[in-house]
Structure 1
Amino acid sequence: MTGPGAFPPAGFRRLVNAVTMRTGLHYYVDKTDLLQQVVGARMRLHGCLTCHDYLALLSDDVRGDAEWRELESAITIGETFFFRYAEQFQALEHTILPRLIRRAEATRHLRVWSVGCSNGAEPYSIAIVLTRLLEEAGMTVADWHIEILGTDISTRALEQARRAEFSAWTLRDIPPGQRQEWFVPAGGRAWRLHERYRRMVSFSYGNILDLLRPDGGPAGPFDLILCRNVLIYFAQAQAVGLVRAMADRLAPEGWLLQGHSEPVSDFSPFLDTVRLPGTLAFCAPRSGPRQDVARQPVLAGPPAAPRRAPVPALPPAPVVDSTTIATEIRRVADSGHVRRGMEMCRDYLARHPVDARIHFLFAVLAWGEGSLLQAEESFRRVIYLCRDHVMARCYLSRMLEESGGWAQARRLRQQMVDLVRRCPPDMVLPDGDGLTAGGLLRLVRQIGDAPAIRAARISS
């Protein structure tokens, strides 16, 4: 082997096996190119010429644990932002958290666990919503004992979470008024979360696989566990075992939320499936294991409407699969290097100029950085390349509205609504971060055209 850029199949398979055994990240089994990029960088840093050399470093009694932590941080995709998944936060704000608050009025004690918390945006979002709900109910937050725990396998992400400083990109979907209310300027384009929310959250290193070991993982009971976009990295059988372990740590009538794209969605008999507007949630039985396996209570919302015949969607514009580069660009942007992410978009688009996905990502990054002309140009290019792109119209209408272009914004919103109505309600919108067509229509109806899109905090 002549250098770290070459990976003999046998040696690399041993390395992949070591990574999956340690982290459980089945995600990389069929994404070896992405793993090779990350491992290659670590090998070059340490001067390792072969996979065997790097495996020896990982096994070293003195340096191995520290290098594992660095590798885990590098291979973990920490893509997150405040109030991610608008429909789930609607369910949290209007159903789940109010019920938990009412149930805990006597003890005034609530425990929340954010699994895979990344930069802390998720647990901090819960702190903001809980504070608002308690104050709206005439209660004092200081009189409550609220524990919000965030755990992650990435030590870099945890360091960022503890600092509670976020780029304008991470806060891209928070309206200016709320940004001023919840954050303070921290120099440049960074913002620091107010101390009143920071002190409600604590962070610690945690590998979710510890749950499968005796006495592993945080001890329950928790009133709410958020494990969103974590299980997608694991094989289905392993994911079911992890959910079972989390269910064992829920308080009676405690809640579990997972991401829209997780590998499994049926956790009977140990959790009830609860259908809420636009999302599914899972609830622990009142006491003991559930006896009626078939029961699936509907706690909110009308019965599901009969499914309409699917409307064929136009084929996507990209001529290549840009999933890997889009994931890497988002990881770079979420780590605070937004301009570097924009450069990566430009480099890629120089080779693939008709990739609508990367044009859209560049537009969102440019908007977050305040480059409004570049953002508008790129959103319009996405619409030109992909005529039925809903989210490009959603974002562009918001941006034009904020700059006073009301007439254009109204036209784009109407086009957006017309396109969405042609889609099956359960269709996940491209670049909508899990938002469905039906979910977007519900948000528009609930809050009104422009405020709905703004308050929904939809992001790519």
Structure 2
Amino acid sequence: MNAPSSWESVAQPSGALEKDLELTAADFARIRELIYQRAGIVLAEHKREMVYSRLAKRLRHHGLTRFSDYLARLERQPQAKEWEAFTNALTTNLTAFFREAHHFPLLAEHVRARPGPVRVWCAAASTGEEPYSIAMTLTEALGSRASQAEVIATDIDTDALARARAGIYPMEQVRKLDEARVKRFFLRGNGRHAGMAKIRPELADRVAFEELNLLAPSWPVSAPFDAIFCRNVMIYFDKTTQARILERFAPLLKPDGLLFAGHSENFSYISEAFRLRGQTVYTKAPR
């Protein structure tokens, strides 16, 4: 099994960081404001330690010792590539294959009865486990029609997307899946890739990864979709932002399309565009 050439560049760094850099209350307040403007993420007061840990690496990369100098550099260059690294650092990527498993049988049942091509948008793809789980579900549900299935997978975090495109995961993570799925959808690594598994090319070809900021004025996705997965990302937005995004989702779904939310997210009181169908699953409300 050949790993992608980007494998080394997307490995996560490790190791504890000493607090040798200056992060003032004003710096933290400015960081909270900037990430809200850039990505809609609301950082709580108790996230200060996380912010220090993640952004300290960027300061050291640039040879800086004060967060104020780093932030000033960012603000002087609104189009700088560093904004991408800043956003990536403050994005949370907690995910797993078939996380919130009750959604996938519902998706399978939904698409089996649908004629023609099936399209699903995963709006918070992270490192790929969720969109690949969707693709596996579509493949199993559609049988001979699986070649007509397409998953559009987007995320604001370009580092996470690089790992998702590579499709390489620790074997201990993959072993949690049903053995039949592991055999059907993964290749086992050997040699220097021992202990790793890679998504099979035929499954990977059904998933298209793209960078997308849900706050952007336009989205590089085309309607209509049979389902949209936007799970465990809205919790980082305030209710105004959530409502705006939900209103934009509605016209992208087919009339009977499904919207899947995270287990701690409730859209019923945020937008009139959707109505609850089941446990964290919504359909478009009649207009």
Q: Which interval holds the TM-score relative to the shorter structure?
A: 0.7 to 0.9
| 2:48 corresponds to 1:43 | no
Letter in 1 for 2:196: A
Q: Corresponding residue for 1:449?
A: none
Corresponding residue number in structure 1 for 2:127: 119
Alignment check: 8 A CA contact 1:80 1:121 kept: yes
- 1:115 deviates by 1.0
Q: Distance in 2 between matches of 1:198 and 1:50?
A: 42
Judging changes above 3 Å, is the alpha-carbon distance between structure 1 residues 12 and 266 closer, same or farther for their aligned structure 2 residues? closer
Residue 205 of structure 2 corresponds to residue 189 of structure 1: no
The CA deviation at 1:25 is 0.9
For 2:64 and 2:185, the matched residues in 1 are separated by 46
Amino acid at match of 1:116: A
Identify the residue that residue 69 of structure 1 maps to in structure 2.
84
| Cα displacement (A) at 1:172 | 4.1
1:60 is displaced (CA, Å) by 4.7
Residue 284 of structure 2: aligned partner: 284
Q: Measure the CA separation in 2 of the matches of 1:14 and 1:88.
A: 38
Structure 1: tracts of 5 or more residues without a match: 292-460
* Equivalence for 2:41: 25
Distance 2:219 2:146 in 1: 31
Q: How does 1:169-318 map to 2 (within 5 A)?
A: 169-186=172-189, 187-210=193-216, 213=217, 215-262=218-265, 264-266=267-269, 269-275=272-278, 279-285=279-285, 290-291=286-287
Asked if 1:109 is matched to 2:117, the reply is yes
Q: Distance in 2 between matches of 1:176 and 1:81?
A: 16
- Relative CO higher for 1 or 2, CA cutoff 8 Å, sep ≥ 6? 2
Which whole-Å CA distance do the structure 2 matches of 1:92 and 1:140 have between them? 15
1:75 Cα deviation (Å)?
Answer: 1.8
2:153 pairs, out of 150, 154, 176, with: 150
Could you tell me which residue of structure 1 aligns to residue 12 of structure 2?
none
Q: 1:197: how far off?
A: 0.7
Partners of 1:11 and 1:273 in 2: CA distance = 41
CA distance in 2: counterparts of 1:225 and 1:148, whole angstroms: 10
C-alpha contact (below 8 Å) 2:239/2:270 kept by paired residues: no
3-state SS of paired residue (2:85): helix
Question: Hey, which of these two has a bigger chunk of helix by percent?
Answer: 1
What SS class does the counterpart of residue 174 from structure 2 fall into? coil
Is 1:133 aligned with 2:116? no
One-letter amino acid matched to 2:281: A
CA distance in 2 between partners of 1:20 and 1:121 (Å): 26
- Give the structure-2-normalised TM-score: 0.85
What SS does the corresponding residue of 1:149 show, helix, strand or coil? strand
Query: Which runs of structure 2 are paired with 1:326-341 in the superposition (5 Å)?
Result: none
Deviation at 1:28, TM superposition (A): 4.1
Q: Is the 8 A contact 2:212 2:219 kept in 1?
A: no
Percent identical pairs in the alignment equals: 29
Question: SS of the residue aligned with 2:21?
Answer: coil
- Structure 2, gaps ≥5 residues long: 1-18
Aligned residue identity for 1:85: E
Q: State the shift of 1:194 in Å.
A: 1.2
Alpha-carbon distance in structure 2 between the residues aligned to 1:141 and 1:87: 21
Does the aligned pair in 1 maintain the 2:154–2:209 contact within 8 Å?
yes
CA contact (8 A) 1:28 1:35 kept: no
**Which residue among 20, 23, 30 is the counterpart of 1:7?**
23
The Cα of 1:251 is off from its aligned counterpart by 1.8
Deviations 1:303-344 (A, max 9, x none): xxxxxxxxxxxxxxxxxxxxxxxxxxxxxxxxxxxxxxxxxx
Aligned to 1:55: 71
Structure-1 residue corresponding to 2:111: 97
Report if aligned partners of 1:150, 1:204 keep a CA contact under 8 Å in 2: yes
Task: Report the alpha carbon displacement of residue 175 of structure 1 after superposing the two structures with TM.
Answer: 3.0
Aligned partners of 2:117, 2:186: CA distance in 1, in Å? Answer: 26
Cα pair 2:111 2:142 within 8 Å, conserved: no
- Aligned pair count reads 266
Contact 1:4 1:43 in 2 (8 A): no
- Matched with 2:14 is none
- Distance in 1 between residues matched to 2:20 and 2:245, nearest whole Å: 35
Give 2:221's aligned amino acid: P
What amino acid is the match of 1:39? L
Q: Does 2:94 align with 1:86?
A: no
Note if contact 1:112-1:222 (Cα within 8 Å) is conserved in structure 2.
Answer: yes
